[in-house]
């Protein structure tokens, strides 16, 4: 069994990390591109280490050192839970390799564990970055005993286990429930989106304290934070206490729950694995079609319809890209609910909220555009488009239109909410309407551009493209970052009136979008 798990995990990692592609490709350009991406990842890790280090220093500086380890453990746990929940189902129930493995003398447990492990190693990296950076700063300033390092290092190794177990159980439950339904994908998508928002809602409790602050409570800020963390993610408190106080009982709790949870999950899932897979991948064919009148569509129309069907056929694609637009609506709705005066206490630019909002809306909606992975999502069917008389322009337009179709309803609702909340004058109303639209279109076109730079057609699991590909990372977050950069002159350049600045930024963004669009449509598809 151990050998099987090891072999299967290695194969999975080779696939996810494209190790063999890097090792054996004779295309130097591809090798350089992959090296460049690895460097970008390393830089991100370095930035994250620095950020966590500074955070740890800040906690120690204001006397919250006792809760620092549990805070870092809780943050790691929640991030892992959030990201794993979006992909656990796709990784654990991967169809293609399942069919191959099923015909081999491989145990179901080995398949489940190996797939779990392939996710674990990525999450472990995140835990190490967060925990080790914090531990180094903590150790440097507070010189803790050996128990801190012992529980800290071993605890970090166990850190991804519990959130991943929870994510896998939820993923499996969603899969099991949706596999019984007629519209499997739709049910799966809705349940996944609900779950993600439940987690986001839950994690927001971190910042919510029911009672009013009193002087005594502020003196015991550590206690408040510990209480909050305990309410959200108790294992983080157990690990923190074990590390800081050397509390062995808490350590036993932490390790015990992590291991028992993991074993239970593997046991139950292995037992039902085949059953769930069969239900999930069985297709119904009615063989009852009668040819009737067929309607003719324009090329763009037919590409758009095909693209829309492709989009809704993948629950992980929908789940990952619908969250941004939904959050845009929630953001707009929050302007109706929050008390701006109270808000001004925390956020000094409240008077500029109307200037910030167009950018905030667009950035939120563009966290993950559909376009930044839509070319890669063609996958093994890419030959169809390449061999058909289809213009690059029509193809990319159809992909942009799908993105806009997804965002449009959320944009309209958000706009109505903003109009009610701000009751803006004519100029502000124009900017509130026009700027987000311009920026969202920019993000869509930018997504296509990035996917053209980093296209991947050889993949087995959609997770590889939607969550782990370079174009998803750079196209999605990059677009979002660009929008934040566009906001800076509007918010901070005081010498030019804001309305004029908004106009300049709007024209600039339209210009960039136009240039990118022109560049994209000249791409020769056969060179991709």
Partner 1 sequence: MSVLRLTCRKKKSKTKDRGKFMLTIKHLTKHYKGSHKGVTDLNLEIAPGDIYGFIGHNGAGKTTTLKCVVGIHDFEEGEIYVNGASVREDLMQCKKSFAYIPDNPDLYEYLTGIQYLNFISDIFEVSAKDREERIRKYADAFEITSSLGDLISSYSHGMKQKLAIISALVHEPKLLILDEPFVGLDPKAALILKKEMRQICAKGGAIFFSTHVLDVAEKLCNKIAIIKDGRLIASGEMKELVRDGYSLEEMFMEVADHGKTD
Min. distance of Cβ 304 from partner 1 in angstroms? 11
* Smallest separation, CB 463 to partner 1 (Å): 17
Q: Copy the structure tokens of residue 365.
A: 């909606």
Q: Three-state SS for 491?
A: helix
Angle, vertex CA 370, rays to CA 98 and CA 86, nearest 5: 45
In the stretch 23-62, what mask flags binding to partner 1 with x, by CB under 8 A? --xxxxxx--------------------------------
Distances (CA, A) of 509 to 363, 437, 441, 502: 13, 11, 9, 10
Q: Which of the ranges 3-11, 243-251, 346-354, 519-527 carries the binding residues for partner 1, by CB under 8 A?
A: 519-527
Determine which residue in the list 103, 207, 214, 283 makes contact with partner 1, applying CB under 8 A.
Answer: 283
Among 3, 23, 182, 295, binds partner 1 (CB under 8 A): 295
Token pair, residue 415, equals 């706009």
- Backbone φ, ψ for residue 54 (5° rounding): -65, -40
Count Cβ atoms below 10 Å from residue 439 Cβ, excluding itself: 27
Size of site (CB under 8 A) for partner 1 = 43
In 289-391, which ranges are continuous DSSP H helix? 299-313, 315-337, 340-346, 353-365, 371-374, 382-387
Pick 347 or 383: Cβ nearer partner 1: 383
Contacting partner 1 (CB under 8 A), which of 37, 136, 299, 433? 299
Instruction: Between 49 and 300, name the residue whose CB sits nearer to partner 1.
Output: 300
Which 8-state DSSP code applies to residue 474? I
Which of 58, 258, 75 has the alpha carbon at shortest distance from 154? 258
**Contacting range for partner 1; rule: CB under 8 A; set: 106-114, 202-210, 222-230, 287-295:** 287-295
Told to check if 3 binds partner 1 by CB under 8 A, we report no
Listed ranges 297-305, 431-439, 487-495, 508-516: which one lies at the site for partner 1 (CB under 8 A): 297-305
Residue with smaller CB distance to partner 1, 394 or 415: 394
Stretch that binds partner 1, among 140-148, 168-176, 210-218, 518-526 (CB under 8 A): 518-526
Q: Which of 283, 466, 476 is nearest to 379 (CA)?
A: 466
DSSP 493: -
Give the sign of the dihedral formed by CA 451, CA 452, CA 454, CA 456: positive
The SS3 assignment for 444 reads helix
Nearest to 467 by CA among 85, 25, 21, 77: 85
Among 201, 298, 337, 345, binds partner 1 (CB under 8 A): 298
The DSSP-derived string for 139-165 is: HHHH---HHHHHHHHHHHHHTTHHHHH
What's the alpha-carbon Rg for the chain, to the nearest Å?
Answer: 25
Site residues (CB under 8 A) for partner 1, limited to 364-393: 380-381, 383-384, 386-391
**Do residues 227 and 60 make contact, with C-beta atoms less than 8 angstroms apart?**
no
Q: Contact between 342 and partner 1 (CB under 8 A)?
A: no
Taking each continuous run of H as one helix and of E as one strand, the counts in the chain are 25, 0
Q: How far is the CB of 231 from partner 1 (least distance, A)?
A: 43
From the CB of 388, what's the least distance to partner 1, in Å? 5
Q: Work out how close the CB of 185 gets to partner 1 at its nearest, in angstroms, rounded to a whole number.
A: 9
Regarding 306 and contact with partner 1 (CB under 8 A), the answer is yes
194 is an interface residue for partner 1 by CB under 8 A: no
d(CA 381, CA 459): 11
The least distance separating partner 1 from the CB of residue 414, rounded to whole angstroms, comes to 30
Helix (H) or strand (E) holding 59: helix 28-61
100 binds partner 1 (CB under 8 A): no
Which H or E run contains 126? helix 108-142
Enter the tokens of residue 341: 């005066």
**In angstroms, what is the minimal distance from the CB of 392 to partner 1?**
10
Beta carbon nearer to partner 1, 278 or 387: 387
Task: Based on the shown chain and the rule CB under 8 A, indicate whether residue 284 belongs to the binding site for partner 1.
Answer: yes
Q: How near is the Cβ of 398 to partner 1 at its closest, in Å?
A: 11
**Closest separation in Å from C-beta 421 to partner 1:** 40
**Neighbour tally for 14: CB within 10 Å:** 15
Least separation in angstroms between CB 459 and partner 1: 13
Q: Which is nearer to partner 1, 25 or 220 (CB)?
A: 25
The verdict on 285 binding partner 1 (CB under 8 A) reads: yes
Binding flag, residue 103, partner 1 (CB under 8 A): no
Q: Measured from the CB atom, is 286 or 423 closer to partner 1?
A: 286
Q: Report which of 198, 429, 214, 444 is spatially closest to residue 326, judged by C-alpha positions.
A: 198
Check binding of 271 to partner 1 (CB under 8 A).
no
Contact 166, 118 (CB under 8 A): no
Residue 286 binds to partner 1 (criterion: CB under 8 A):
yes
Q: In this complex, which beta carbon is closest to partner 1, that of residue 99 or of residue 342?
A: 99
Per-residue x/- mask for partner 1, residues 388 to 407, rule CB under 8 A? Answer: xxxx----------------
Among 313, 416, 496, 507, binds partner 1 (CB under 8 A): 313
Determine the Cα–Cα distance for residues 72 and 425; give it in Å rounded to an integer: 45
Q: Does 302 bind partner 1 (CB under 8 A)?
A: yes
Nearer to partner 1, 100 or 294 (CB): 294
Q: What is the largest CA-CA distance in the chain?
A: 80
Report the nearest approach of partner 1 to the CB of residue 474 (Å). 23
Q: Which is nearer to partner 1, 161 or 402 (CB)?
A: 402
CA–CA distance, 304 with 312 (Å, rounded to integer): 12
Residues 312, 184 contacting (CB under 8 angstroms): no
Nearest to 480 by CA among 340, 321, 364, 400: 364
Binding site for partner 1 (CB under 8 A): 25-30, 283-291, 293-299, 301-302, 305-306, 309-310, 313, 380-381, 383-384, 386-391, 524-527
């Amino acid at each position: 069994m151990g050998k099987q798990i090891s072999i299967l995990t290695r194969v999975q990692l080779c696939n996810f990390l494209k190790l063999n592609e890097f090792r054996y490709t004779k295309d130097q350009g591809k090798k350089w591109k992959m090296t460049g991406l690895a460097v970008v990842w390393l830089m991100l890790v370095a930035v994250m280490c620095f950020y966590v280090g500074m955070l740890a220093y800040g906690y120690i500086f204001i006397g919250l050192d006792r809760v620092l380890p549990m805070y870092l453990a809780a943050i790691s746990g929640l991030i892992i839970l959030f990201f794993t929940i979006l992909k656990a189902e796709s990784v654990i129930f991967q169809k293609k390799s399942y069919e191959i493995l099923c015909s081999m003398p491989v145990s179901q447990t080995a398949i489940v564990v190996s797939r779990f492990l392939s996710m674990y190693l990525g999450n472990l990296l995140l835990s190490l970055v967060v925990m080790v950076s914090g531990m180094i700063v903590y150790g440097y300033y507070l010189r803790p005993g050996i128990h801190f390092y012992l529980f800290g290092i071993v605890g970090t190794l166990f850190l991804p286990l519990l959130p991943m177990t929870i994510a896998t159980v939820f993923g499996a439950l969603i899969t099991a429930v949706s596999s019984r339904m007629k519209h499997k994908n739709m049910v799966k998508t809705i349940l996944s989106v609900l779950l993600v928002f439940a987690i986001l809602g839950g994690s927001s409790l971190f910042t919510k304290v029911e009672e009013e602050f009193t002087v005594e409570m502020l003196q015991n800020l550590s206690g408040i934070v510990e209480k909050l963390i305990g309410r959200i993610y108790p294992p983080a408190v157990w690990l923190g206490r074990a590390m800081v106080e050397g509390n062995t009982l808490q350590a036993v709790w932490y390790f015990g729950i992590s291991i028992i949870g993991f074993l239970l999950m593997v046991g139950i899932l292995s037992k039902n694995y085949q059953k769930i897979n069969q239900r999930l991948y069985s297709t119904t064919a009615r063989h009852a079609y009668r040819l009737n009148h067929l309607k003719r569509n324009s090329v763009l129309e037919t590409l758009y319809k095909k693209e829309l069907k492709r989009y809704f056929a993948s629950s992980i694609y929908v789940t990952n890209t619908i969250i941004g637009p939904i959050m845009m609506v929630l953001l707009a709705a929050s302007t109706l609910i929050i008390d701006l005066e109270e808000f001004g206490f925390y956020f000094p630019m409240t008077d500029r909220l109307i200037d910030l909002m167009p950018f905030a809306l667009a950035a939120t909606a563009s966290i993950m555009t559909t376009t930044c992975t839509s070319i890669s999502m063609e996958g093994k069917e890419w030959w169809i488009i390449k061999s058909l008389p289809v213009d690059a322009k029509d193809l990319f337009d159809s992909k942009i239109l799908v993105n806009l179709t997804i965002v449009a309803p959320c944009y309209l609702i958000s706009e109505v909410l903003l109009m009610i909340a701000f009751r803006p004058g004519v100029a502000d109303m124009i900017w509130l309407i026009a700027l987000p639209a311009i920026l969202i279109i920019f993000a869509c076109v930018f997504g296509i551009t990035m996917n053209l730079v980093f296209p991947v057609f050889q993949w087995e699991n959609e997770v590889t493209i939607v969550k782990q590909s370079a174009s998803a990372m750079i196209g999605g977050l990059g677009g979002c970052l660009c929008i934040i950069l566009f906001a800076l002159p509007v918010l901070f350049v005081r010498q030019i009136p804001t309305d004029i600045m908004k106009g300049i930024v709007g024209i600039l963004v339209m210009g960039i979008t136009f240039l990118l669009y022109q560049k994209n449509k000249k791409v020769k598809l056969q060179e991709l």
